[in-house]
Amino acid sequence: MREIFRLGLILMTYALIAGAALSLVGLKTMPVIAENLARAEEEARIFVLPAMNGGFESIEGGALSYWIGFRDEAKTVVGGYVFTALGMGYSSEIRTMIGVDENFAIVGTNVLFQQETPGLGTKIIEVSSGDSDPWYMRQFIGKSLPEQLKLSSDGGGIDGISGATISSRAVAESIERGLASLQETVGGNR
């Protein structure tokens, strides 16, 4: 009995020392990690909706969470909005971030996350040589009506990707839903 008690005590001592060491390292690194995360999110928003001198403000709750971008530092002139769209692709969920201007015309897109079939579904982020952004996502720029965001085979203005219908449709539908939801939410709050 004493033996188990002694062994347990020794193990606990090791655990306590380990815990102390970890807490020390944690105290130093966790603020850096949180800062990295915040900076990455801010950069993602700036990427899809640039030139917002007043930064972004997050509006949460309700049907859709989104950010308002302010053109001026005084935060009085709304420059546009940013929202994330989520769609079920072929083999993974596809997350995109969309920036629209004050008239809901899409100005920037970014595929945040996807794990589609390499060579087929991943064509949604394929960049042709000489270009700087994916040709598939570029189709969304300028459109402001949700109906335009369907695939052309579904009556809209977006050309799907042959061999990757499910991936391309998932992206288009999620952006269509997101834009419609944004217009409804913002329109209601105006």
Partner 1 sequence: MSVLKELTKGIYKENPVFRLALGLCPTLAVTSSVENGVGMGLAATAVLLCSNIIISLVRNLVPKKIRIPIYITIIATFVTIVELLMNAYFPALYKSLGIFVPLIVVNCIILGRAEAFASRNNMFMSIVDAIGMGVGFTLSLVVISTFREVLGNGTFYGMNVLPSSYEPAMFMVQAPGAFLTLGLILAFFNWLDLRKTGN
Partner 2 sequence: MDFGQYFTMLISVIFINNFVLSRFLGICPYIGVSKKLDSAIGMGFAVTFVMTVASAVTWSVYTFMLNPQSNIFPKIGEMGVDLTFLRTIAFIIVIASLVQLVEIVLQKTSPVLYSALGIFLPLITTNCAILGVAVLNIDQELTFIESLVQGFGAGIGFTLAIVLMAGLREKLEMSNIPKPLRGVPIAFIMASLMSLAFQGFSGLSL
Residues at the interface with partner 1 (CB under 8 A): 6-7, 10-11, 14-15, 18, 21-22, 25-26, 29-30, 32-33, 36, 40, 118-119
Determine which residue in the list 7, 10, 24, 30 makes contact with partner 2, applying CB under 8 A.
30
| Shortest separation between residue 26's beta carbon and partner 2, angstroms | 5
CB proximity list for 72: less than 8 A, separation 6 or greater: 53, 54
User: Applying CB under 8 A, which part among 17-25, 60-68, 72-80, 171-179 lies near partner 2?
Assistant: 17-25
Binder of residue 119, out of partner 1, partner 2, none (CB less than 5 to 8 A by kind): partner 1
| Shortest separation between residue 97's beta carbon and partner 1, angstroms | 17
Q: How many helices (H) and strands (E) does the chain have?
A: 3, 5
Edge-to-edge strand list for the sheet holding 78-88: 56-59, 66-70, 78-88, 93-101, 106-113
Q: Look up residue 124 and give its DSSP letter.
A: G
Buried b vs exposed e over 137-146: b needs ≥16 C-beta within 10 Å?
A: bebbeebeeb
Nearer to partner 1, 115 or 152 (CB): 115
* Number of residues located near partner 2, criterion CB under 8 A: 8
